[in-house]
Each structure stands twice: as structure tokens, then as C-alpha cells.
Structure 1
Amino acid sequence: MASFKFVFAVAVLVMVHPAAISFVSSSGSLELGDQCSSDEDCKVGLGCFKCGIDIATCVRSNITDPFSVVNNSMPFNKYAFLTTHNSYAIEGKPLHVATQEDTIVQQLNSGVRALMLDTYDYQGDVWFCHSFDEKCFELTKFNRAIDTFKELFAFLTANPSEIVTLFLEDYVKSPNGLTKVFTDSGLKKFWFPVQNMALGGRDWPLVKDMVANNHRLIVFTSAESKQVTEGIAYQWNYVVENQYGDDGVKPDECSNRGESKLLTDKTKALVLVNHFKTVPVKLLTCEENSEQLLDMIKTCYVAAGNRWANYVAVNFYKRSDGGGTFQAVDKLNGELLCGRDDVHACSF
């Protein structure tokens, strides 16, 4: 989220925290939960990670593709997708608060299918910033939107059956500023038209039809006027979302975000669950992305009128003590697709 509430000391703590470990491709023989000393010890799809003071073990680092377990013949709103909060806020920029350690390309290759991006006008272009007062500054900028959008274009081109959603916290004021960057990056080729989006709680189009029509990029904006002026869907017409930050991770609580309609509003077919604290600290994220996350998606299921989430948004998405965010999405897809606790039980 765009609010800039972090003091310099916290920023430094997050950036230099000793828990920082990079996940790389694995090729070893160790299974989930086995003790390890490096990522290379673990099987493909796993990484070696020490959660807090525990012994380092192999944990999941890749998503299960629900289309390969079941198929892509269901409506889009019958699937769940791993979402990264402030996807652009990647480690490595001095004095910047990071929420992710992987690049956007690495996130996509690991199975992330929805990105939360804060867009601003800056230096005559559109930039991703984590800023305040609806303005981007030299010390709050991360990178140009078009650079990331070109990476996304390459991913969608190379993966013709994949669908990606963008949630834009949008502070771009320049007329057609976003349209230009989407056009210049080539992403208009994959644009999902606003007029095809389901209203009134109806089901979205079938995924297989979205793929066949090449409508594989869904874009939501927080700026209501842009649905009319630029054809970018106003998020709150289609999605309900729970509170984010510290107010959104309280045990046994799941209330709607201020901008969102009530979670029980079933005229919105898509449900987004946030689960991350206001101040991102990797050492703590490990626990947040484990049992606490599973508990939260169950709590939000009830709060949303017995509806499972379609998107689950987290910080440091690979951090967990086992299955983590990937297990949570497996559960959501299992519940959505066949009423089972794990998508692997849906194979038929």
C-alpha cells in the first residue's frame, strides 16, 4: 500500500536483516521438511530456509498449477492466485523498504499470478513508488513501469496459457498516462476488455475462452474515473477485499478494507485476502505465511459469506516453515474447484 509510514531505522533493519536468503533453482534429493544446508540440497520446487531460530529445512518455493491438475474449463472466478503485495518493492535499493526479494520475472516463474503495483507520475513517465501525498520522489521511487511491463509482455508471450492480474494503486494524473505505458510495452495485446468483466455476482468467462481470445491480462485501478476515460476497470466494481496491514492480520478477524464494499457483497464475484503486516520484516514473515495464513483464509471465508478467496496477497512470498503461501493457494483452489482441502485431490 502506498502510505509511507516507515522510519529510517526500520528501513535499515529490514534491508540488512540476517534472515535474507535468496532462493535458487534446486536439484537435490531432500524432501519437504528435511534438514538442509543450501537450496541445492532440496528437490525441485523447494528451497532451504531457516525459519527464526529453527533448523534450516526444505520448504516450498513454487506454485501448483491448477490448470494442470484439473483443467482451465471453469470460470475465472473459480480459481485462486498467489498475489504479491508491492510486487515492485524488491530488495537492493538503499534506504527503500522492501516487501519482496525476488524480481518480477522470478515471481512470475514461481507461480505468482497477481501483482500489486503503486503507480505515480514522475519525471514525465510512470513509475512504481512507495510514497506519500500522492507524489513520487527520488527517495521513494523504485523503477519505471514500462520496464516491468515489458518483462510481463515477454512472460505472457512465452506462456500462452497463463493469465496475470494487476492491481494498481493508481496516482497517475497525466491524461492517458497509463494507457500510453500499456500500449508502448505491448501489453494491450493481452488486454481483458472491461465490457467482458462480470457484474452482479455472475461468473466470469471461462479461462479456456480467455486464453483462446488472448484476454490474459486483467488490470484493475483504484482510480474510478479511468474506467470511463481509459477503459481500465475500477477495482471496487468487481472485487471485495479485506483490511491490509496490522489491522488485517488480527486472529479471528476479517473486515473489509475501507474502499471495498462489505466482504459479504456477492455482487462482486472476486474476493481478495490480504495477509501482511504494516512493517515488513522477513524474520516475522515466515510465521505470517505459514499456519497464520491458513487460519486467515478460513476466517475470511466465513466473513465473505462462505466464499473462498480468489487472490491471497503476501509479503516475501517464499518465506514459510513448510508449505507456506503455496499450500494456502492449493487449499483455495481445492475448495473452489472441487470442495476438497487440497487441489491435488481434485484430479479427475
Structure 2
Amino acid sequence: MRTPHALLTMTVTAAALAAVAVAPAPAAGADAVPSPGTYYVQSATTGLNAADNAGAVEQHRPRGNEDRQQWNLRADGGWHLLENTDGPGTCLGRGGDQARTVACASPEARWQITPVGTDRFTLADPGTDRRLTVAPKPAGANHPARLTVGTGTGDLATWYLTPTAPATRPMPPQDRRTLDQVTFLTAHNAYANGVDGGFAPPFVNLFPNQNRGIERQLADGVRGFMLDIHQTPDGAILCHNSCTLVSRPVALWVDLQRMVDFLRAHPDQFVTVFLEDYVDPAVLRAELARVQGLSEVLYRPDRTGVRENGWPAMADLTAAGQRLLIFSDHSRAADRSAGLTRDSFGVMYQREWTVENHWSMGSGAGTSDWSCYSRWYDAGTNIPLTRTEPGFRPLFVMNHFRDTTVASTAGTDNSKLADRARRFCQPAACKKPNYLAVDRYDLGDPAAAVTSLNTYTYP
């Protein structure tokens, strides 16, 4: 089990952020304000949604049509109203310097919505420089939940108006679809299968995340592999939490060799590995050096202009033979202090190339938490699911599993994967999931969700 650690971005000018109306009039550039409809009001800083909480307006984890997070946008003269879908007649408004819900007929419910780049907006008290704002982050804490109305600027006062049912486009033809447009079935803790070898101490070993070995997973269409690696005198070993008391653990190079051999035999396929990484960089480099043919298939996005030009077409990667992408959740800063960075030998730092939602939906039984929020949002880190950069959109890793793997629960959860991706996680990230990570991929037909997501793009 993975443990916790782990739209298009616009250039916003200072002038655009500072611009406010000084007299009631139809909003300039009103044609750039979204059409009437149902939206999430989503912070550009945290990726969290504005929600009505007994009259207070707070930022909450995205929860689809739950938790009073959806707002009907409509024009009101030269301004706009945002009426809560769960409270007819109740709108997102202001009470002094706090955001709160008020009667839609109140002047405090009116907002001047100003575009500050495609899909991003400020919401201002008409005729003033007061905007809906996320409160600044105290040292050693998250941003406060309660939203304020003040003179904030920058991303703290910038919002996505994310449609609850966005228009999609058909997937491009095979020869033109890019890596960030494709969705892959991904096995959470793929090594913890009880087939290839031991993966945990005796009791934990009774709860495998998968029940088929890596070679069978590849044959079944799994193309993303989450692997936990720990350091032993034998190198980088695949184990849960530690390798102490584990019988017959598998070395990382063994599973990577299986994947490289598969790619050699299937030149049209692409595989991604996600390392939950507890080894020194020199140990990992030595482990990769044991994999025959790895350099022939390894994909290096850091060397091909991805951050400037976006992800390449899958057909181009196939033609170049670059079909194995490896990520590590390790810290670049820690590696620099050690004198050897992982990307120097082809392992990418995941937080630089992807976004990822929180790793757990709850315990292995009972109620589940379908909210979809960043795994990397805490007192020390703020990487919202909505993060992008000019010309570059991170890949989206969607986790969909529990703390403990129970077969009946995994089967039920997997059958609901497409629904959670569509209603919860896709709008939370303002992008389509690229990797659907599940336990027991053989139950509940998660491959059907992958197939469905691969019929369209999220513009």
C-alpha cells in the first residue's frame, strides 16, 4: 500500500489582476465570462472548491455533486450571481470581509467576474477592489478553509469556473493522440501480488493488492505499475514498508526486466513505472544498470522539450522506441545534497511531471471518501491537481483504492471507477486522468473505465 507523503495555465499580467470596475456597467469583455450553467468555483492556489457550510463559504475538497459545492451562474444586469444548487434563492456572496451565502436578491450576492486568462477569473465586489480570496497560508499550516473578501491579488484571488459537465472532444486518430490525452490501466502495488514472490511480513502478506504476477498484468493490459522499493545489501528490493521478515522478495531489476522484455516483443506498447522510493540514488542507478536493454526503451521527457512544447504523440514515441517512463516520488532537493540526482540516469521526479490525488479512499470496508484532492497539499507542499505551466500540462495520476485490500470492496470500487473519474476527479483536476490506479484490477472491470476515457479528450 502506498503511504501518504504523495486549464491551461495562463500568463496573468499585473495590470489584469489590478483591473477593477469603478462604476456599475455591463462587464467589459462579458463574452469571455462563461455561459450560464452549473460550475465549481475552484481556487487557482489550492484546487479546492468553494462550498456552502451553514452560511459560511469555505474551500473544501472536491466532492462532485455532494457538499454544496455546485453553483448556478447567471447574469444579473451587468453583474453575475452564483446560486447554490442545493439552496434555491441562496447565492455566494459577502458579509463584511468574509465570504458567505446570502439571499440572491441581495446586492451582496452580485459579483463582477473578470477574465484573467482562459478559464481563470477574479470575482469582485462591484465598484471596489475587494475580491473573493483564499486567505494567506500561515507558516506550517494549510490555507484556512474560510474564504475572505479583500484586496488580495495573484493566484490567491484567482478562480477557475469549472463546468460540472464540460464539453469534450473525440479522441484524435491513433497517429496524432499525445501522451497526455491517453489513459492507462495502472496496478497499485503491482509487486504485491503473492505470485512473483513475497512482498511483506507474514500477516500483511495475506492481503495482496493484486493476485496476478507482473507478466500476467502486462498481458492483461496493465500499463502503469506502482512499485515500493527499499534498500537492502542486495540492492533495491520490492517490499511493503520494509523488507524485514519478507520471504522471497523480488528485486526491482527483475520486474523491470520483465517490462523491457515485454516492450521488445510488443513495439507498439508504452509502460510507466511509479516508484515509491526509499533507496539512495547510487543504489537505484546500480539496480537499473542490471536491466538488459533498458537504455534502448527508456523515455527521457527532460531531454525532448516537453516542458516547452507539451507531451509528444504516442506514435512518435513508438517510432523512436522510447516506451518506458520511470518516475520516483523521491525529493530532488535530498538528492542534490547527496550529490547525485535521479534524472541524471533517466528517472524523473514525479512531482515535476505529474499531479496525483490523495492515495486513499478510506479503510478497506465501510464508507468511502470519493473526494478528489491533491496528494501533495499539506503544511509543507502545495501542488494542486489543477497545476499547469505555460505550454505544459502535467500527467494526472488518479488513485482509486483503500487502505487495505478487501476483494469484495475492491470489486465494488472498481465498478464505480468511471463514475468517480467523470464526476469527481476530472473536474477536480480540470483534466482527464492519465493513469487509473486500482487494487485487484481483475475485479469490477476497471479496464472498461479506461476504454471509456480513451474515447474523448477534455479540452
Q: TM-score, normalised by structure 2?
A: 0.54
d(CA) in 1 for partners of 2:407 and 2:194? Answer: 11
Structure 2 equivalent of residue 142 of structure 1: 249
Deviation at 1:139, TM superposition (A): 2.8
d(CA) in 2 for partners of 1:245 and 1:252? Answer: 9
Question: Retained in 2: the 8 A contact 1:236–1:260?
Answer: no
Match of 2:434 among 310, 313, 318: 310
Structure 2 equivalent of residue 48 of structure 1: none
Match of 1:303, as an amino acid? A
Quote the RMSD (CA, aligned, Å): 2.6
Structure 1 equivalent of residue 111 of structure 2: none
Q: In the TM superposition, what are the counterparts of 1:55-70 in structure 2 within 5 Å? A: 70=173
Q: Looking at secondary structure, tell me which structure has more strand per residue.
A: 2
* Counterpart secondary structure, 1:208: helix
Match of 1:120 among 223, 230, 250: 230
Measured against aligned partners, the alpha-carbon deviations of 1:208-248 in whole angstroms (never above 9, x if no partner) come to 11111111110111122334553421001110110111359
Q: In the TM superposition, what are the counterparts of 1:56-135 in structure 2 within 5 Å? A: 70-91=173-194, 93=198, 94-95=202-203, 96=205, 97-131=207-241, 135=242
Q: Is residue 261 of structure 1 aligned with residue 383 of structure 2?
A: yes
Match of 2:446 among 313, 325, 339: 325
Q: Who wins on radius of gyration, i.e. which is larger? A: 2
Distance change >3 Å, CA 162–CA 228, structure 1 → 2: closer
Q: Looking at secondary structure, tell me which structure has more helix per residue.
A: 1
Deviation at 1:302, TM superposition (A): 0.7
Match of 2:413 among 288, 292, 317: 288
Question: Retained in 2: the 8 A contact 1:89–1:99?
Answer: yes
Distance change >3 Å, CA 310–CA 3, structure 1 → 2: closer
d(CA) in 2 for partners of 1:148 and 1:118? Answer: 12
Structure 2 equivalent of residue 163 of structure 1: 270
Q: Is residue 183 of structure 1 aligned with residue 313 of structure 2?
A: no
Distance change >3 Å, CA 310–CA 183, structure 1 → 2: same
d(CA) in 1 for partners of 2:175 and 2:232? Answer: 40
Alignment: residue pair count: 265
Distance change >3 Å, CA 218–CA 260, structure 1 → 2: farther
Question: Retained in 2: the 8 A contact 1:182–1:188?
Answer: no
Question: Retained in 2: the 8 A contact 1:240–1:263?
Answer: yes
Deviation at 1:197, TM superposition (A): 6.1
d(CA) in 2 for partners of 1:336 and 1:142? Answer: 40
Structure 2 equivalent of residue 219 of structure 1: 326
Measured against aligned partners, the alpha-carbon deviations of 1:138-163 in whole angstroms (never above 9, x if no partner) come to 33873111211221121011001111
d(CA) in 2 for partners of 1:252 and 1:171? Answer: 29
Question: Retained in 1: the 8 A contact 2:2–2:276?
Answer: yes
d(CA) in 2 for partners of 1:260 and 1:101? Answer: 35
Question: Retained in 2: the 8 A contact 1:76–1:203?
Answer: no
Q: Is residue 198 of structure 1 aligned with residue 306 of structure 2?
A: yes
* Counterpart secondary structure, 1:312: strand
Question: Retained in 1: the 8 A contact 2:396–2:433?
Answer: yes
Match of 1:73, as an amino acid? R
Question: Retained in 2: the 8 A contact 1:241–1:260?
Answer: no
Q: TM-score, normalised by structure 1?
A: 0.70
Q: In the TM superposition, what are the counterparts of 1:329-340 in structure 2 within 5 Å? A: 329-336=450-457
Deviation at 1:284, TM superposition (A): 1.2
Structure 1 equivalent of residue 17 of structure 2: none
* Counterpart secondary structure, 2:455: helix
d(CA) in 2 for partners of 1:297 and 1:119? Answer: 28
* Counterpart secondary structure, 2:456: helix
Deviation at 1:180, TM superposition (A): 2.1
Distance change >3 Å, CA 205–CA 239, structure 1 → 2: same
Deviation at 1:327, TM superposition (A): 1.1
Deviation at 1:206, TM superposition (A): 1.2
d(CA) in 2 for partners of 1:197 and 1:336? Answer: 22
* Counterpart secondary structure, 1:245: coil
Match of 2:360 among 245, 248, 261: 245
d(CA) in 2 for partners of 1:330 and 1:273? Answer: 15
Match of 1:264, as an amino acid? T
Question: Retained in 1: the 8 A contact 2:183–2:450?
Answer: yes
d(CA) in 2 for partners of 1:189 and 1:152? Answer: 13
Deviation at 1:252, TM superposition (A): 4.9
Distance change >3 Å, CA 136–CA 272, structure 1 → 2: same
Deviation at 1:181, TM superposition (A): 2.1
d(CA) in 1 for partners of 2:277 and 2:395? Answer: 20
Question: Retained in 1: the 8 A contact 2:239–2:246?
Answer: no
Structure 1 residue ranges, 4+ long, deviating more than 4 angstroms after superposition: 247-252
Question: Retained in 2: the 8 A contact 1:130–1:140?
Answer: no
Measured against aligned partners, the alpha-carbon deviations of 1:143-202 in whole angstroms (never above 9, x if no partner) come to 1112112211210110011110001111112x42222222211212211113226226x5
d(CA) in 2 for partners of 1:278 and 1:140? Answer: 23
Structure 1 equivalent of residue 345 of structure 2: 230
Measured against aligned partners, the alpha-carbon deviations of 1:39-78 in whole angstroms (never above 9, x if no partner) come to xxxxxxxxxxxxxxxxxxxxxxxxxxxxxx9424321111
Distance change >3 Å, CA 2–CA 325, structure 1 → 2: closer
d(CA) in 2 for partners of 1:197 and 1:172? Answer: 29
d(CA) in 2 for partners of 1:177 and 1:260? Answer: 29
Deviation at 1:295, TM superposition (A): 2.1
Match of 2:299, as an amino acid? F
Match of 1:240, as an amino acid? V
